[in-house]
Structure 1
Amino acid sequence: MKKKTTRNKWLVFALLLLGFTTTQAQTEYRLTVKDAVDLALKNVADLKNLRIDSAKQEAQNKEIVGSALPQVSGSAQVAHYLTLPKVLFPSAGRTDIYTVLNQEGVKDGSGNTIAAKQEFSVQEFSFVQPWNVTAGVSLNQLLFQPDVFVGLIARKTSIAYATENIKIQEDKTREQVQKAYYQVLIAEQQLEVLQVSLQRFQKLLSDQEQLFKNGFIEKLDIDKTTVSFNNTKSTETQLKNMIELGYAALKFSMGLSQGDKIVLTEKLSTQTVKENILDDGSFNYNNRGEVRLLNTVQKLQELDVKRHRLGYLPTLAFFYQFQQQGMLNKNFSAFTGQNWFWFNSNLVGLNLSVPIFDGMQRKYKIQQAKYTLDKTTNTLDNVKKAIDLEKTSAQINLRNAILNMDAQQKNLELAERVYNTTKKKYEQGVGSSFEVLQADTELQRAQGNYFDALYNAVVARINYFKAIGQLN
């Protein structure tokens, strides 16, 4: 029995430790909408990858610069001939001697011409030494090469391209986070109002039970109120589930773990939605990241056309080579007093490569690059027209959303007055519970319509500032 008690204690301790560890791993964030956006810009994986791409582009730019700097390389070789390569030389033997005697008219003792004996031989000889050591260093400096020249010019433009990609993704992240944030925030405000309605129902049910005990109302009145209370309770449960799902979506859009806790601290009202929405007519297409990105693409493609055109120019490079060679032949030591013989060589020059005819390949590459540039120009023009449509649509939608929000706010205020008046009449005995329930139902409907209109107005505001390129 004592062992079992000890085991239970250890089990409780382990569970407490696990709970403490889980609590410690959870991070709590208290966030305004700006805080949420800033946190997302640091954590979102797509943005992290784009920043890595930007760093990679900088490394590629440095690689291009490196190709224009002097290139130095060294080499060394040690070789030993197991069998020396040889060449053949005619041997200066007896056949050659007799040939010379005949040409000079020399006779033998009998007065006859000396007959040459037909003998021919060759002698093997090698110019290579058994051991050979070679070491050298070479330097090459590119003076002009078209693709490297254009690559050096395009460095800033390529970095600008990577930067604009990051900014476009940042705008998308701002839009996603703000919409997710306000969706949860408005849902929480709606939940607070709904819980007030539940409190009203509980108070009404409590009052009705007393009235029923005193015989002033029927059981039917309590049943009607109970049905409305249960329906509101069900709506509360659905809204809580929606808020939980909204928090999960918000965490994902911010790049946070689902185990983290978020507390929203932003304050939202109809006046907040209406702030800074007046159009001063200062819209500039370059406020939109898509336009800036396409402008950068245009510059890169113009440089690509230039690169192909410069391909007709020659490539010029300077080079220098130094080499030292050593040969070993121990057989020479008896004559020279040394085994090794060393020789140096230096070489300097220019290497010029001139393209003469490439089968018209470069001409058609230039045409293809121009066609690609023309497509980008057409795309840019179409994007500007789409932005005009988006901006006009966003302005109209925002205007309508604000009008609807104001109307729903007035309806909510009116529904609250109707409910309060109906409730007072019921408490004074000149109204029915049915009228109270009906007024409460209309009040809940007005509240729901108001929060829907508020969220739609917030979304319209976000879309409007995105359309004009000023979403912060």
Structure 2
Amino acid sequence: MNFYFKAKTIRLLALCISLLLLAPVLVFAQTGITNQQSNAEQNTLANGTLEDIIQYAMKNQPLIQQSIIDERVAENTVKSKLADWYPQINFNYNLQHNFLVQTSVIAGNPVKLGVSNTSAGQFTVSQAIFNRDVLLARRTKGDVLLQANQNTSFNKTDLAVNVSKAFYDVLATTQQIRVSAEDIVRLERSLKDAQNQYKSGVTDKIDYKRAMISLNNTKASKKSNEEILKGKVEFLKSLMGYPLGNELKISYDSLQMEREIALDTLQAPEVTSRIEFQQLTTQKRLLESNLKYNKMSFLPTVAANGAYNLNYQNNKFGDLYVNNFPNSFAALTLTLPLYQGGKRKANINSAEWQVKRVDLDITNLKLNVNSEYTNALSYYKGSLANLLSQKENVDLAKEVYDVIQLQYKSGIKTYLEVITSETDLRLARINYYNALYQVLANKIDVQKALGQLNY
């Protein structure tokens, strides 16, 4: 019994130790599963506003990720070029067997120069003192990194504009579907009233059929917009880098959007605030550095170098590494190209033309910015006027519909007039929402032209 009790105690103790040892593993595994679930949740949006969708696109759009990778590549390329400023240390090894040793005649006597087996080990060190390639890398380091960052900003700005317009396009179609759904409810009620009046003998079947035609047309329009919406949502998801097969739900506040349509139309475009201008400015500085680089091609390249050589020689291969005849040296090397057939002058001329060309690009951008702003502002003002008109039309169409509906029930108006007023109301509401989202899209174009959309 005592032995059985001890054995049971030992097994229990071993089980406890095993659980203690496995606990961190189990916790780590659970944490990994939780992190995976969290990452999966982060890859989708529950109810994304426009700002949420833009931020999601900035993190997940492949083009933006590629731009960020380009920044990392640029950083490492600069580091690679600047590494040439540091001492360069190398080791070379050589093992050679001479089947026929070179012979030379000295004082009329043939003398063999060398032995059958040689081996050498060489340690070399060099330090650049003046090298125009390395000097260019050091001078342009900041601009190269800035250029990569500006390319990312340009892609982000362009993406934000496209995502915003696609978002408003989805909303416009969504609102059309919602309006159609509300109209279907109203038309079904009108159809039921027309059926009852027809059955009671108050009206003929013309009203009933007209109600049916209007209802069928509205249902067809709703179905068509639902199919169109699928394509527009997929396009928005593609711009965002949204996972395939996952549902995208968007959130919006129409009243808030109405408050956001206001824009100061007295602003003047500042070309310096445009990312395109900043890119051209950086490009010009790089081209000016390239021009200086080509002008330095007439200067020599200077470097300090040295070496320590291990020389092993012996006619017997087994005794090759018995005797060593080392040597070492230190030197200062100056390389000056004297004549290259006019190559350096041609490179300088080419670099100068590139600088002049980018100046014309900057001038052209200034002209385009002014034209772009004027056009964007014109479209914004036109769509804003249309929005105000459509908003008034909605109120008028609603009032007309309510009056005609009452008059029809009183037997004053015909059902054709009811259908006409319903159609006018539906079109007025759809036109209003289309105008609202068009104003917001045009506002984005104005802000882009002003250089206010920078990421």
- The size of the alignment, in residue pairs, is 412
Contact 1:28 1:260 (C-alpha < 8 Å) held by counterparts: no
- Tell me which residue corresponds to 1:200: 186
User: For 1:49-77, what per-residue CA distance to the aligned partner results, in whole angstroms no more than 9, with x for missing partners?
Assistant: 22222221112111111122111111222
Contact 1:329–1:340 (CA<8 Å) still a contact in 2?
Answer: no
Match of 2:226 in 1: 240
CA distance in 1, matches of 2:106, 2:132: 53
Partner of 1:383: 365
Over 3 Å counting, the alpha-carbon distance change for 1:378 and 1:244 in structure 2 is same
Distance 2:256 2:439 in 1: 9
Amino acid at match of 1:415: A
Paired with 1:79 and 1:270, the residues of 2 have a C-alpha distance of 84
Distance 1:403 1:276 in 2: 12
Residue equivalent to 2:289: 303
- Asked if the contact 2:401/2:422 (under 8 Å) is kept, the reply is yes
Aligned to 1:132: 118
Aligned mate of 2:249, from 240, 260, 263 = 263
Q: Please state how far the C-alpha of 1:126 moved relative to its aligned partner.
A: 3.2
* Separation in 2, partners of 1:455, 1:89: 99
Distance 1:348 1:237, change over 3 A: same
Deviates more, 1:305-314 or 1:40-49: 40-49
Q: In the aligned structure 1, how far is the partner of 2:214 from the partner of 2:387?
A: 27
Matched with 1:250 is 236
Contact kept in structure 2, 1:308 and 1:366, CA below 8 Å: yes
CA distance in 1, matches of 2:64, 2:205: 63
Q: Percent identity?
A: 24
Deviation per CA, 1:386-435: give whole Å up to 9, x if none: 10111122122212211110110100111001101111222233332222
Q: Does 1:284 align with 2:285?
A: no
SS of residue matched to 2:386: helix
Matches of 2:236 and 2:146, distance apart in 1: 30
Partner of 2:336: 354
Does the 8 A contact of 1:273 with 1:457 survive in 2? no
Per the TM alignment, residue 450 of structure 1 is displaced from its structure 2 partner at its CA by 1.5
Q: CA deviation at 1:41?
A: 1.4
Aligned pair 1:49/2:72, yes or no? no
Structure 1 range deviating more: 129-138 or 284-293: 129-138
TM value normalised by structure 2: 0.85
Q: Which amino acid aligns with 2:129?
A: L
**Alignment gaps of 5+ in structure 1:** 1-23, 91-121
Mean Cα deviation higher: 279-288 or 261-270: 279-288
| Alpha-carbon displacement from aligned partner over 1:66-90 (angstroms, at most 9, x marks no partner) | 1221111112223344444444466
Please say if 1:407 is aligned against 2:389. Answer: yes
The Cα of 1:245 is off from its aligned counterpart by 1.3
- Aligned pairs (5 A) from 1:34-113: 34-88=51-105
Secondary structure at the aligned position of 2:307 is classed as: strand
Per-residue CA deviation, residues 193-228 of structure 1 (Å, 9 max, x unaligned), is: 211111111101111212222211111111111111
Whose helix fraction is larger, Structure 1's or Structure 2's?
2
Aligned Cα RMSD in Å? 2.4
- Residue 30 of structure 1 aligns to a residue whose secondary structure is coil
TM-score after normalising by structure 1: 0.82
Shift of 1:454: 1.7
Distance 2:294 2:115 in 1: 51
Q: Show structure 2 runs of 5+ residues with no match.
A: 1-39
Offset at 1:459?
Answer: 1.6
Q: CA deviation at 1:142?
A: 0.8
